[in-house]
């Protein structure tokens, strides 16, 4: 995950094939980690929902809130993929746009144990077993691969395989699946650069402090088209898990709202609205080679 500000994005057709209409996610969405896998229609009516602030749906995300997930650093405008998804779910739960409130939640703080000040958080948070120990997740709303970004002048710009990255100095943000990919999939001979803020990861790439960095693929397309001059996507990694890496909405452990949000997501998926939102905000005009 990352957040970067300027317009412009090209995303892989492979991503759309994986997440729109034909992925395992669509056929069988990942089970939520809530105590209840389903909820009755009555339990999911607006009046019966247990909320942080009665009558208001409180949604968390980080700040800045970057493209393509949000637009103009303003989650409340309904623009950008995750903002649009959040409002679509809110509508299915019975909330108008004016009844949705956004609150700032740092990425790493979102999945820390403890009480939450939001009803759910949407912030490119991958569903992982480790995170499930402290929080609950909705079914996945987006399937994503990780990818390597490098300057065209980098020694690994021409890498064709994971083995070609073994001696590279790589970077990623702390606490992310991008860093996990470096550690468990690439296993480089050099210690990776680990940064608290993904903006610092981008700076490290621009300055040549590292040979390359790992980001989720949608972000990688955005970076190479709008943020990092003279750069490229070296390649993407095939999904390691069945169904692929999934972004999910995050909830306080034991929150019964998970079941209701899953019902909303299932309706959006079946109707084709989720795929429509993805096509609107995540283009299918480009591709990236696969590193094996």
Query: Between the CA of residue 266 and those of 50, 271, 275, what are the distances in Å?
Result: 20, 8, 12
Model confidence over 8-21: pLDDT tens digits?
433 433 343 334 33
Whether residues 129 and 155 share a domain: the answer is no
d(CA 125, CA 21): 21
Name beta bridge partners: 252: 135
Q: What is the mean pLDDT of residues 250-279?
A: 97
- Copy the structure tokens of residue 120: 């759910």
pLDDT mean across residues, the chain: 87
Q: What is the mean pLDDT of residues 37-66?
A: 87
- Output the furthest CA–CA distance in the chain (Å, rounded): 59
Q: What is the mean pLDDT of residues 49-61?
A: 97
pLDDT confidence band for 243 (50 / 70 / 90): low
Model confidence over 123-167: pLDDT tens digits?
999 999 999 999 999 999 999 899 999 999 999 999 999 999 999
At residue 38, the pLDDT reads 53
Whether residues 220 and 179 share a domain: the answer is yes
Whether residues 96 and 186 share a domain: the answer is no
Whether residues 86 and 100 share a domain: the answer is yes
At residue 39, the pLDDT reads 59
Q: Would you mind telling me the total number of residues written for the chain in this entry?
A: 292
In a domain, 290, yes or no: no
Model confidence over 189-227: pLDDT tens digits?
999 999 988 889 999 999 999 999 999 998 898 899 889
d(CA 135, CA 1): 18
At residue 148, the pLDDT reads 98
In a domain, 137, yes or no: yes
Whether residues 221 and 258 share a domain: the answer is no
Whether residues 34 and 105 share a domain: the answer is yes
Whether residues 139 and 62 share a domain: the answer is yes
Which one has a higher pLDDT value, 39 or 89?
Answer: 89
Domain that holds residue 75: 13-143+242-281
Whether residues 254 and 231 share a domain: the answer is no
Model confidence over 231-240: pLDDT tens digits?
999 999 987 6
Asked if the model's pLDDT at residue 245 lies above 50, the reply is: yes
Whether residues 112 and 163 share a domain: the answer is no
- Total count of domains within the chain: 2
Whether residues 129 and 258 share a domain: the answer is yes
Whether residues 257 and 119 share a domain: the answer is yes
Whether residues 219 and 266 share a domain: the answer is no
Which one has a higher pLDDT value, 100 or 25?
Answer: 100
Residue 191 backbone dihedrals phi, psi, to 5 degrees: -60, 130
In a domain, 46, yes or no: yes
pTM above 0.95, yes or no: no
Whichever domain contains 165, its CATH number is 3.40.190.10
């Amino acid at each position: 995950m990352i957040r970067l500000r300027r317009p412009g994005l090209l995303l892989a057709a492979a991503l759309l094939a994986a997440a729109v209409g034909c992925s395992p996610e669509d056929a069988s969405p990942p089970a939520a980690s809530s105590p209840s896998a389903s909820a009755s229609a009555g339990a999911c009516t607006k009046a019966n929902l247990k909320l942080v602030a009665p009558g208001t749906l409180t949604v968390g995300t980080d700040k800045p809130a970057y493209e393509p997930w949000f637009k103009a650093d303003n989650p409340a405008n309904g623009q950008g993929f995750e903002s649009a998804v959040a409002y679509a779910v809110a509508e299915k739960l019975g909330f108008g746009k004016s009844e949705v409130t956004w609150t700032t939640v740092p990425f790493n703080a979102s999945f820390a144990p403890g009480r939450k000040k939001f009803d759910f958080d949407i912030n490119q948070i991958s569903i992982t077993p480790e995170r499930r120990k402290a929080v609950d997740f909705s079914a996945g709303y987006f399937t994503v691969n990780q990818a390597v970004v490098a300057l065209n002048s980098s020694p690994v710009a021409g890498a064709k395989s994971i083995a070609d990255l073994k001696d590279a100095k790589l970077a990623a943000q702390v606490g992310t699946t991008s860093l996990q990919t470096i550690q468990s999939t690439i296993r480089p001979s050099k210690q990776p650069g680990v940064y608290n803020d993904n903006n610092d990861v981008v700076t490290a790439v621009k300055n040549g402090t590292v040979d390359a960095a790992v980001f989720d693929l949608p972000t990688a397309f955005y970076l190479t088209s709008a943020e990092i001059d003279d750069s490229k996507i070296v390649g993407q990694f095939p999904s390691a898990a069945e169904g692929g890496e999934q972004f999910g909405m995050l909830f306080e452990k034991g929150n019964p709202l998970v079941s209701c949000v899953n019902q909303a997501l299932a309706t959006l998926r079946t109707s084709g609205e989720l795929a429509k939102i993805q096509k609107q905000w995540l283009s299918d005009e480009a591709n990236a080679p696969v590193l094996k």
